[in-house]
Amino acid sequence: LESSLLMQPWASVCFGESTFLAKACFRDTGYILLISDLSSVWYESADAEAVGQRSKELNKRLTVPVSSFLHRLRNLMCPLLAGQPDAATSFSCHHAAGGLSLHVKSELSGLPFYWDFHCCPAPVEMVSRHLVRPLIQMSLALQYQVQELTSLLLQKDAEIEDYRESGAALSRDRLRTEPFQEKTFQQNFMAEVRSAAN
């Protein structure tokens, strides 16, 4: 389950007035949920036996196979993570004893359906594998992309200057651009990042 979870993208979700990042993976054998507010990371991994036990406690009137509960949970969570939550389903969360509890209220087979995700703090290795490493890898990739684009812009400026020195002129003056100043660009960019962070 966790290896499959690595392939899932993070999604921004709102529970009440709080915004979280979340990802989840559901199978017939169980599920795993990872959720973060960028200060803490919580997770829950539950196998079919645990799902069956909790479903009996929360949904005494429902007598359906565990696979049906897991299928229903997947159908509730996946649209939420895709930004298309079901209007007939409500989600709420609260912090409790160092963990995070996510309460779901919906229906199944015409009867009320309730579910509680009991998330505990994620181990450091899990946080690193799912959040820290991917962020660092993406940051490095973007840095490389910026370096490549900067190099391309400087080459284009050199090419344009060569045309000008050869006597070429623009047919439309509005297309004229100033030479790219890498240092100025970096300073302005960092100033905008700091402003956005505040």
Backbone angles phi and psi of 179, in degrees to 5: -60, 145
pLDDT at 197: 67
What is the total count of domains within the chain?
2
- Tokens (6 digits) for 143: 């840095």
- If asked whether residues 115 and 132 sit together in one domain, one would say no
Domain-ending residue, one of 122, 150, 171: 122
pLDDT tens for each residue of 51-67? 999 998 998 888 888 88
Rg of the chain over all Cα atoms, to the nearest angstrom: 25
- If asked whether residues 6 and 89 sit together in one domain, one would say yes
- If asked whether residues 1 and 27 sit together in one domain, one would say yes
The pTM (predicted TM-score) of the whole model is 0.77
- If asked whether residues 37 and 102 sit together in one domain, one would say yes
The CATH number covering residue 72 comes to 2.170.210.10
- If asked whether residues 61 and 90 sit together in one domain, one would say yes
pLDDT tens for each residue of 117-162? 999 999 999 999 999 999 899 999 999 999 999 999 999 999 988 9
126, burial (CB in 10 Å: exposed 0-12, middle 13-18, buried 19+): middle
- If asked whether residues 113 and 140 sit together in one domain, one would say no
* 58 C-beta neighbours (distance < 10 Å), count: 16
- If asked whether residues 82 and 167 sit together in one domain, one would say no
pLDDT tens for each residue of 16-46? 788 999 999 999 999 999 999 989 999 999 9
Section 160-184 average pLDDT: 86
Q: Residue 100 and residue 37: Cα distance in Å, rounded? A: 11
Average pLDDT over all residues of the chain: 89
| pLDDT over 90, % of the chain | 49
Section 167-174 average pLDDT: 84
Residue 76 in contact with residue 85, Cβ under 8 Å? no
The helix, strand and coil proportions of the chain, stated in percent and rounded to the nearest 5, come to: 45, 30, 25
- If asked whether residues 94 and 44 sit together in one domain, one would say yes
Q: Which domain holds residue 20?
A: 1-122
* 51 C-beta neighbours (distance < 10 Å), count: 20
